[in-house]
Amino acid sequence: MAPTVTRIDAAGNTQLGEGPHWDPVSKTLYFVDIEGGTIHKYCPATNSSTKASIDGHDGRSVSLIIPVKNQPNKFVISVDRDLGVVTWDGKSTKVSFEKIAEVDTAADVIGNRINDGKCDASGRIWFGTIGVHDPKTMKFSENASFYSLHAGKPKHHFGDVTISNGLVWNKNNTKFYYIDTPTQRVEVFDFDLATGNISNRKTLAELPKLGVIGGPDGMTIDTEDNLWVAVFDGACVLQVSGKDGKLMQKVDIPAKQITSVAWGGDNLDELYVTSARLFDPALTAPVHGAVYKITNTGFKGFPMNEAVL
């Protein structure tokens, strides 16, 4: 049976949907609207959604939301270059932000902001930044960086990043996969869970060589160590082998700008997909900026890791 794609209108519409995170306890999907500066919650059981803005931070970007382990209603989020914690009951329309770390503080990069982020199996938060862009050419500077948060302090792993995006680990926590969107590559590192070190950087797959138009964005992994990659400006999600980078299947999505993916549902066999409607006035709601769900893939994922602070 071919995969089935459904638009979830009850989840609302965003300018730049990102950072989907499925909570298996509450059976809800959390995600953000980067451009709207809001955090979102979608509950499939009631087919309803809510959202909240960050008190005192209107107009600033919010790019990730990760539950804090063993602390109900607490989440790590980003606000521009800051990581912090909010407490949200899923109902309130505003939340207070408690800053815990700041990155890219040098004078020549203070216009950067945090982009995609996730936790490894030990609860460390891994995240990267995005460079400042020229609104005329839509080119981004290459002075962003990639970090993890160790004992409350950012650890710099590498620089020369343009748009830090998808990140995920294999089931044995020995490989770390990473995307810097403009490179059009999915890269793989050796990963040491005990130390939090990454090494031996290699290219796993390149979208042009796979015959795919668009830029790789957010991604997740299934239980067979295959990557599922959102393709911005490509109107699709790719399944790519985490072992050799071969294209296994391509799932078309009605929206053009696909931003990220996360496994959800009772059996973690439903793939939730976020999208955007940027730069082009022809990309209108409800199709563009919507949340989609892919079923009947024949695959399933792992529970997403939570933050340990």
Query: Is residue 71 assigned to a domain?
Result: no
The pair of structure tokens assigned to 160 is 């020369």
**Per-residue model confidence as pLDDT tens digits over 143-197:** 999 999 988 899 999 999 999 999 999 999 999 999 999 999 999 999 999 999 9
Whether 217 is catalytic: yes
| Pairing relationship of beta strands 125-130 and 113-119 according to DSSP bridges | antiparallel
**Per-residue model confidence as pLDDT tens digits over 259-283:** 999 999 999 999 999 999 999 999 9
Query: Is residue 46 assigned to a domain?
Result: no
- 214: pLDDT strictly greater than 80: yes
Give the other-Cβ count within 10 Å of 2's Cβ: 9
Query: Is residue 49 assigned to a domain?
Result: no
User: What is the arithmetic mean of pLDDT over 223-237?
Assistant: 98
**pLDDT the model gives residue 155:** 97
Query: Is residue 309 assigned to a domain?
Result: no
**Per-residue model confidence as pLDDT tens digits over 83-134:** 999 999 999 999 999 999 999 999 989 999 999 999 999 999 999 999 887 7
Instruction: List, in order, residues 6 or more apart from 244 with CB less than 8 Å away.
Output: 204
Query: Is residue 15 assigned to a domain?
Result: no
Average pLDDT for the chain: 96
**pLDDT the model gives residue 259:** 98
pTM of the model: 0.97
Residue-number span of the structural domain to which 162 is assigned: 4-10+96-295
**pLDDT the model gives residue 138:** 65
Which of the residues 217, 222, 244, 280 is marked catalytic?
217
**Per-residue model confidence as pLDDT tens digits over 16-50:** 999 999 999 999 999 999 999 999 999 999 999 99
Q: What is the sign, positive or negative, of the torsion defined by CA atoms of 170, 177, 123, 71?
A: negative
Distance CA 181, CA 160 (A): 13
Instruction: List, in order, residues 6 or more apart from 273 with CB less than 8 Å away.
Output: 20, 230, 237, 253, 258, 260, 261, 291, 292, 293, 294
Query: Is residue 261 assigned to a domain?
Result: yes
Q: How many domains does the chain have?
A: 1
Query: Is residue 148 assigned to a domain?
Result: yes
- 140: pLDDT strictly greater than 90: no
Give the other-Cβ count within 10 Å of 114's Cβ: 28
- What CATH number has the domain bearing residue 269? 2.120.10.30
Distance of CA 199 to the CA centre of its chain: 22
**Per-residue model confidence as pLDDT tens digits over 292-304:** 999 999 999 999 9
Query: Is residue 109 assigned to a domain?
Result: yes
Residues above pLDDT 90, as percent of the chain: 93
